[in-house]
Structure 1
Amino acid sequence: MSSTANKQKIPQSTPQTSINRQKIVDSVPQKGFFGHPKGLFTLFFTEFWERFSYYGMKAILVYYMYYSVSKGGLGFDQQTALSIASVYGALVYMSGIIGGWISDRLTGATKSVFYGGILIMFGHLALAVPGNISMFFVSMILIVVGTGLLKPNISTVLGEMYDINDARRDAGFSIFYMGVNLGAFVAPLVVGTIGMKYNFHLGFGLAAIGMFLALVVYFLTKKKNLGLAGSFVTNPMKPEEKKKAFTQIGIGVVILAVLIIALVSTGNLTIDSFINIVGILGFVIPIIYFIFMYRNPKVTKEERSRLIAYIPLFLGAVLFWSIEEQGSTILADFADQKTQLNFAGMHISPAWFQSLNPLFIIVFAPIIGAIWVKLGKRQPTYTQKFSYGLLLAGLSFIVILVPALIGGSHALVNPLWLVLSYFLCAIGELSLSPVGLSATTKLAPAAFSAQMLSLWFLTDAAAQALNAQLVRFYTPQNEMSYFAVIGIASIVLSLILFALSPKMQKFMKGIK
């Protein structure tokens, strides 16, 4: 039931200076969705359908790129398709920086979420156009920009609905995270089945419908359920600043467009060179972030020490996400080309394997969380937990070698080996991903708390930029050595992190 304050009509234009944290919380109906604010319903189902659309598209994207034109694909060679898929993911995570800036300075979070959803929907519709490579790249741009607007800002709206000391806050984020994984679980089963069995473009069309449903839920319920959450611009530009910024952005866009046209016309900008550029940016951007924060006068000596402690965690996360994200590229290809898909009296779509990670996350997240709570002060340090995650990720690649050693490298693999691989990586993710978010917020310098979260998400961008290069070495002839080298590298790094844990704990200056 809403409080009296919640029943009052919210002014259409609340003065910026009169908005404070408590007014935002009071404007949101605080009971209505499993004992949580009503707005959690809006954000849960918006995110469910948005993730349904994204992971549905992702489940069939690689196949669409490298299947021949006669099979409804674009006919790219396999290595190029795998690299493009990785670059796609890297750009999606990089774009969150731009989306956060637009929200903070121009539009506010709720508008950014809605505008982002519209761009994503049109991106999926562009993919639904049969056999058109130009529309494929248009869709990439739309989905990258749209996800950058939506993904970081929907979490911002969620956080603003709760009082900072509200005991329900963590549980609310857990419920929201469940919506993410439910959408990711259902999408490959639905979109993957339609896309692989009937037509890729029908699958992409379903992804567009999923995003449309997200927009409908969001549009119809946001005014009543979200109140003032995300409705204001946290650091608005003055009119003269807007004019200057828009002028600079416009000039930048024109210069970039001219440069791209010139490079394309001279043959200097190819798919391969673009992949290389993104690969470089994936590491240059976080390095600049680190240097800028470390040298900033607002950062204390103690905070600099914590930044140094964060570097091994960052590198460990990059290698972990490199392996995890190959579940939708290398392992997707392995499922299609090297796995027995007729199993236990049924035909398995290779896209279905994409549902395993979110399924395991949904089932085992409460169990892993309960273990950490049970251990209390005896639980492993951040660095040790990262080492466990890397160890499991490395083993997830090593187990792929076992059936080849038993039955030969040319035999089709029992799908249960692939299930085991996804399972190990998912448990590793539960040891590393939520821990990484927690460590990031605690180790962040006070002046850069928000930007450190952007830095954490850049671990995935860097990982997929790395993958865009790694997957070029993957061929049917050397796939066993590919899995072995990356798997062993992850295990070795896990052992190094474990050994460094006591030293890193000193650098963290009391953060546990």
Structure 2
Amino acid sequence: MVASERTFFGHPWGLATLFGTEMWERFSYYGMRAILVLFLTAPAARDGMGLDDATAAGLYGIYVGAVYLTALAGGWVADRLFGARRTVLYGGFVIMCGHISMAVPSNGVTVWLGLCLIAFGSGLLKGNISTMVGELYRDSPDRRRDAGFALFYLGVNLGAFLGILIVPMVAPADGDTWHRGFSLAAIGMALGLVQYVLGRKSLKGAGAEPTHRLTSAERARFLRVLLLSVLGVVAALLLWWWSGTFTLSRFTLAFTVVCAVVPIAYFAFLFRSPEVTAAERVKLRAYVWLFLAAAIFWMIYDQAGSALTFFAADNTDLNVFGLSIDPGQVSNVNSIAIIALSPVFSKIWDRYGDRISIPARFAVALVLVGASFVVMSLASIQASDGTKVSILWLTTTYLVQTVGELFLSPVGLSVTNKLAPRAFLSQMMGVWFLATALGDSIGGQMYKLTTVVSMPVYYFSLAMSAVVAGLLLFMFVKRVKALMGD
């Protein structure tokens, strides 16, 4: 009698390997993110960078945007060069090196180098590990794949919870131990790499080979183009610096424009590619709707690391039942709620997912994330006279956003895997993260509006943009479903 195959909560055991790897990568990412803007705005006397809030928020926005923007390149590397499995390994190593670079005390050079390495490594890892999750369910029904991604998303948020909880403890907002926090993030990524290597056999064939390996001639041409592109970008930045017009604020704006141009150009390429069939092009038209909805969602949601962290530090009473909470730890409300609710939503999508269409879920997510900033608008009104408001305002905001996230994010990974042209499977996971890059970079620029409008107006304006977008998507749910083939 053959023994039954080992499973992970009823799912393939390979999901346990990817779950653990992503958990530790998210520990390093969210742990560092919890202290990043506080480090950027801390004075030099406390070993900080001494930036103003608006510049720090813009820099945070393009850093987070770069993390997801490079996922497209990471998908191409997996599809054409190494396969998803090896690309994830290389990405995790580069991320670890980035955190180590940030942990080295310096005048800022190692900080910028570290942020670049983390962004590039995340691009290699993030989309490709999600692709391998999808490959584990290649022959499974949609609702089972949705449930698997929801369970995988639990690992994401378990790592986020631990990172946000622990890293600010060793690098509190009122201290000067930032580099200890960055060191802890490096250790977290190292543990993720060990987990990944030890569990590689459980992945079986997932991501083992590139789907469209480059020929020798194509690889040589790629290396020439890559070298010329890197040299061109470096030369342009040096000329900009020497011109005397370079500022961090202008650089963040230029990067935001890049984040907008890249998805437009890539979608244009996909629609014209001979490797995309006519049926796949129809599904891509549906995907554009979902992509835009996701970008608006993340524009608001990911301000947890900038606007909401500043609000926690400056306007919130952080003494809870006699305990003092670090501003960077407040966002853990989201992680705790995700951990509690992910199994519930996994069961809901597994049992009733066919009754709630994916476009409708995206529309609900937009309305909810908009509602969360209505809460923040009211909170900022109460804090406008300098009063420290209750932490319940931020808690409510994060709880509403969490429910919206569970309607959109795990399902977004699954639908990307479903609608992706076969020739661009890994790259399409990168395209999904381009929505986050676009939303985050725009969100970083939007924070500059706080220099000319009040915080209540700022929050309410963003809230209405999301709510209106959600209502518009509701109106076209049937049309998008038809394009998807559902």
CA RMSD of aligned residues (A): 2.9
Q: Does 1:189 align with 2:165?
A: yes
Q: If the length of structure 2 is used for normalisation, what is the TM-score?
A: 0.90
Equivalent residue pairs, number = 483
Contact 2:373 2:459 in 1 (8 A): yes
Query: 1:196 is paired with a residue of what secondary structure?
Result: coil
Aligned residue among 96, 99, 110 for 1:135: 110
Give the superposition deviation at 1:256: 2.7
Give the superposition deviation at 1:247: 2.4
Give the superposition deviation at 1:398: 0.8
- After superposition, the C-alpha distances for 1:63-90 in whole angstroms (9 at most, x for unaligned) are 0001111223110111111101110011
CA distance in 2, matches of 1:143, 1:420: 31
Contact 2:136 2:206 in 1 (8 A): yes
**In structure 2, what is the equivalent of residue 21 of structure 1?**
none
Q: Does 1:491 align with 2:457?
A: no
Unmatched tracts of structure 2, length 5 or more: none
- Percent identity over paired residues: 39
CA distance in 2, matches of 1:90, 1:468: 9
**In structure 2, what is the equivalent of residue 207 of structure 1?**
185
Q: Which amino acid aligns with 2:59?
A: I
Q: Which amino acid aligns with 2:477?
A: S
CA distance in 2, matches of 1:220, 1:442: 29
Unmatched tracts of structure 1, length 5 or more: 4-28
CA distance in 2, matches of 1:44, 1:504: 31
**In structure 2, what is the equivalent of residue 236 of structure 1?**
213
Higher relative contact order (CA 8 A, sep 6+): 2
Q: Does 1:474 align with 2:454?
A: no
Q: Which amino acid aligns with 2:191?
A: L
**In structure 1, what is the equivalent of residue 329 of structure 2?**
352
Instruction: Give 1:14-93 correspondences, 5 Å limit.
Output: 30-31=5-6, 33-34=8-9, 36-93=11-68
Contact 2:79 2:427 in 1 (8 A): no
Q: Which amino acid aligns with 1:50?
A: E
CA distance in 1, matches of 2:353, 2:225: 52
CA distance in 2, matches of 1:226, 1:380: 31
Q: Which amino acid aligns with 1:280?
A: V
Assess, with a 3 A threshold, how the Cα gap between structure 1 residues 299 and 36 changes in structure 2: closer, same or farther.
closer
**In structure 2, what is the equivalent of residue 396 of structure 1?**
372
Greater mean alpha carbon deviation, residues 284-293 or residues 120-129: 284-293
**In structure 2, what is the equivalent of residue 216 of structure 1?**
194
Give the superposition deviation at 1:367: 3.0
Assess, with a 3 A threshold, how the Cα gap between structure 1 residues 178 and 100 changes in structure 2: closer, same or farther.
same
**In structure 1, what is the equivalent of residue 267 of structure 2?**
290
CA distance in 1, matches of 2:346, 2:15: 22
Q: Which amino acid aligns with 1:52?
A: F
Give the superposition deviation at 1:381: 3.6
Query: 2:208 is paired with a residue of what secondary structure?
Result: coil
Query: 2:171 is paired with a residue of what secondary structure?
Result: helix
Give the superposition deviation at 1:500: 3.2
Q: Does 1:179 align with 2:155?
A: yes
Q: If the length of structure 1 is used for normalisation, what is the TM-score?
A: 0.85
CA distance in 1, matches of 2:55, 2:215: 45
Contact 1:302 1:509 in 2 (8 A): no
Assess, with a 3 A threshold, how the Cα gap between structure 1 residues 107 and 499 changes in structure 2: closer, same or farther.
closer
Query: 2:40 is paired with a residue of what secondary structure?
Result: helix
Instruction: Give 1:440-459 correspondences, 5 Å limit.
Output: 440-444=416-420, 450-459=426-435
CA distance in 2, matches of 1:436, 1:291: 21
Instruction: Give 1:253-268 correspondences, 5 Å limit.
Output: 253-268=230-245
Give the superposition deviation at 1:92: 0.8
Greater mean alpha carbon deviation, residues 410-419 or residues 248-257: 248-257
CA distance in 2, matches of 1:47, 1:437: 14
Query: 1:421 is paired with a residue of what secondary structure?
Result: helix
